Chain A
Amino acid sequence: MDAVPQIVLNIVIAGGIYSLAALGFNVLYSTTRFFDLGYGAYALVGGYAVLCLYKWVGINLELSLLLGVLIAGLTGFLTEKIVYRALRARRASNTVLLIASLGVFTLGQAALAIFFSSQFQSLSRDIASQRLFSIESGVITATQLLILTAAFAVMGILVVVWRYTKFGRAVRAIADDEEVAQTVGIDSERVIGAVYFIGAAVGGIAGIAVGFDMGLQPLGMTILLEAVIAAVVGGIGNMYGSVLGGFLLALVENIGAWQFGGEWKFAFAFAVLILFLLYRPQGILPK
């Protein structure tokens, strides 16, 4: 049973990444009530922006990370402004929005593949020099600890902003009923724009985390699915739920992969999603 401590650590690390991915998706979906598949592309943009700045241009790490997150946020913000806002103004159905977002996803992913190639690329400059911490027979790197910290920090910040600030109240008002929010004087377009920036930026953090932990590939579907599954399992509209869902998803995936092989990881994750949608669509922690 020597493998157990490492598996536990793997679950914790994956859980941190999935939590980040789910938090960003949750922010977008709970506010706009529109299922944006493009989120998978925004997350990738964050990772690839850091790849470009940090490894190619050679900017220092902290600035690269900051810019990467901002660029991801900006991508989401602009997509909303150019594509989704026009559709919402026309009262397009959810299906239309969904198909358009599938287009955004396909376009974004393929454009990244063209610029950065389909090769697997790691964000770490020197993997061997990383500090390692051993727990029992398992190992966790300093980067992974940082990712984990980031997940809880982002959750904390979102909870505080959503609950205690004027902006957060406006977001919640829009989530409840956009028209009512407008009649009480909330500029819903501006708030939704800001929400899009925040959600996509958090997605970008998740993409960057993936890039440091496992490496980047222009395949946004994986991170998109993990975000959606964790957010739905935890409960849309609940920040704690996204983190809980993230860790639960990591648990199921890793135990499944341990028992049956890594190639079936996704099938387990998907089975969890379907079970939840059928028997508890509101998630573990409803809003």
Chain B
Amino acid sequence: MDYAVHILTMIAITGIAAVSLNLLIGETGLVSVAQAAFAGIGAYGMTLLMLHAGIPFLAAALFSALIAGAIALIIGAIFLSLREVYYVFGTVGLNMIVWAILLNWDSLTRGPLGIPGITRPEVLGISFADNTAFLILCAVVLLAVFAAHYAIMKSNFGRVLHAVREDEEAIAVLGYKTEVYKIVIFVISAALVAFSGSLYATYLSYINPSAFTVNDSIFILAIVILGGLGSAYGAIVGTCMLVGAFEALRFIGFPASIAGDMRQVFYGLILILFMLYLPRGLFGKFRI
């Protein structure tokens, strides 16, 4: 039972990241391999604000999501003029730099040692120290993010995003400033995934840079590809499957030293095979 609660919590936290990435790659056609970097910014931002400034969880998490959004604003503006492939490559580099900062800025992040002793949150006087209570919190956040995704895509703003994905030049001719739309969705996506990073930090009560590498971004990308582009529902199904597979691989009993690499082999295969045979993904509405 405890174990089921743990898996569901990880699914909820990862699901937020996957839905946030679907806004970028699935709905707007912007392939980003930097979600883990923004999750890291969120997790470290929230942790430092909570432990050093004594700010309560919710305020700290929202504030660090804002920080992540502000960083995404700057990065998004710089990356705008990068053509498709270089845009993707830029996000890979960004993730590596953020990781290097987390790893090497010892005085702030304690480097590879990580930061222990992150307490579970108390929101509006309710304590979430209990695992089941915390799962409910994560599920509520996931639901809220899911609803936000739905609202965005039903709005005029969302329709323009779809148009950018289908034919950016055509929509630009109609007078829409596609740059603004692309930056705004990048900022929204970064802020959402940063919030999931905060949940992750407070759930495990410990963070270190190794949770926010390019490989972790590839994991989130594999989820969205598997679930299907342009479908928030698919992103969540993909999360259930891959987080589930992640846990199942644990039981097959690979030696610990290669378990991580076995997972990477698995994600790599998903990316290759889906591109070859099912580029739409399981529930995708859009074929890249």
List residues of A whose CB falls within 8 A of some B CB.
35, 83, 86-87, 92-100, 102-111, 113-114, 117-118, 221, 225, 228, 261, 263-264, 266-267, 270, 273-274, 277-278, 281
Check A114 against B33 for contact (C-beta < 8 Å).
no
Number of A-B contacts (CB under 8 A): 117
The residue that B93 contacts in the complex, of A86, A99, A106, A225, with Cβ under 8 A, is: A225
Q: How far is the CA of A106 from the CA of B93 in the complex (A)?
A: 16
A-B residue pairs in contact (CB < 8 Å), sample of 28: A35-B85, A97-B275, A102-B218, A102-B271, A103-B268, A103-B269, A103-B272, A104-B268, A104-B272, A106-B215, A106-B218, A106-B267, A107-B268, A110-B261, A110-B264, A111-B261, A111-B265, A117-B257, A118-B261, A221-B96, A266-B97, A266-B100, A267-B100, A270-B96, A273-B89, A273-B93, A274-B78, A277-B90
Question: Does B84 sit at the interface, judged by CB under 8 A?
Answer: yes
Q: Cβ of B269 and Cβ of A263 under 8 Å apart?
A: no
**Beta-carbon contact of B265 and A114 below 8 Å:** yes
A83, B271: Cα distance in complex, Å: 11
Q: Are A92 and B90 in contact (CB under 8 A)?
A: no
Query: Which residues of chain A are near B221, meaning CB under 8 Å?
Result: 99, 102
- Chain A's closest residue to B267 (CB) is A106
Q: Kindly state whether residue B205 has any CB partner on chain A within 8 Å.
A: no
Q: Mark B256-288, 1 if CB is under 8 A from A, else 0.
A: 011001111101111111011001000000001
Residue of B nearest to A273 (CB): B93
Contacts of B275 in A (CB 8 A): 87, 92, 96-97, 99-100, 103
| Cα separation A285 to B41 with both chains bound (whole Å) | 38
Q: What is the minimal beta-carbon distance from B103 to any residue of chain A, in angstroms? A: 7
A105 touches B268 (CB 8 A): yes
Q: What are the 8 A-B residue pairs with the smallest beta carbon separation, nearest first?
A: A103-B271, A107-B268, A110-B264, A106-B268, A103-B272, A100-B275, A35-B85, A110-B261
**A107-B269, A113-B258, A263-B100 given. 5 additional CB < 8 A pairs?**
A95-B88, A98-B85, A98-B88, A103-B268, A106-B267
- Residues of the A chain whose Cβ atoms lie less than 8 Å from the Cβ of B90: 274, 277
A149 CA to B96 CA in the complex, in Å? 31
| B75 shortest CB reach to chain A, Å | 10
Task: Find out whether the CB atom of B82 lies under 8 angstroms from the CB atom of A270.
Answer: no
* Given A96-B288, A98-B31, A102-B33: A277 and B82 interface contact (C-beta under 8 Å): yes
Which of the residues B268, B273, B288 comes within 8 Å of A110, measured between beta carbons? Answer: B268
- The answer to whether A95 and B268 touch across the interface, beta carbons within 8 angstroms, is no
Task: Tell me the residues in window 60-93 of chain B with beta carbons closer than 8 Å to chain A beta carbons.
Answer: 78, 81-86, 88-90, 92-93
Complex CA gap A105/B263 in Å reads 14
Q: Name the residue of chain B whose CB is nearest to the CB of A117.
A: B257
Residue among A102, A105, A118 having the largest count of chain B Cβ atoms under 10 Å: A102
Interface flag for B210 (CB, 8 Å): no
- Chain B residues within 8 Å of A110, by CB: 261-265, 268
Contact indicator A263/B103 (Cβ below 8 Å): yes
Partner of B276 from A83, A95, A267 at Cβ < 8 Å: A83
Chain B nearest CB from A212 CB (Å) reads: 24
Q: Which residue of A lies closest to B99 (CB)?
A: A266
**Does B264 lie within 8 Å of A106, measured CB to CB?**
yes
Interface contact B31-A99, CB-CB below 8 Å: yes
Residues of A within 8 A of B257 (CB): 117-118
A99-B31, A221-B96, A278-B78 are contacts. A35–B89 as well, Cβ < 8 Å?
Answer: yes
Nearest CB on B from A273, distance (A): 7
Residues of B near A83 (CB, < 8 A) are: 272, 276
Question: Is B264 in contact with A100, judged by CB distance below 8 angstroms?
Answer: no
Contact A264 B104, beta carbon cutoff 8 Å = yes
Q: A102-B221, A102-B271 are in contact. Are A96 and B265 (CB under 8 A)?
A: no
- Taking the complex as formed, is B214 at the interface, i.e. its CB lies under 8 A from any CB of chain A? yes
Query: Does any Cβ of A come within 8 Å of B37's Cβ?
Result: no
Cα separation A111 to B260 with both chains bound (whole Å): 11
| Interchain CB contact under 8 A, B225 and A99 | yes
Instruction: Decide: A266 near B84, CB < 8 A? Known: A102-B271, A107-B269.
Output: no
When chains A and B are docked, how far (Å) is the Cα of A264 from the Cα of B103?
Answer: 11
Q: Output the least CB separation between B168 and chain A (Å).
A: 13
Instruction: Choose among B78, B81, B89, B265 the residue that contacts A228 (Cβ–Cβ < 8 A).
Output: B89
Residues of A within 8 A of B261 (CB): 110-111, 113-114, 118
A33's nearest neighbour on chain B, judged by CB, is B85
Complex Cα gap A83–B279 (Å) = 13
- Residues of A with C-beta under 8 A to B86: 277
User: Does the CB pair B214–A278 fall under 8 Å?
Assistant: no
CA distance A99 to B280 in the complex (A): 13
C-alpha spacing A273/B97, complex, angstroms: 13
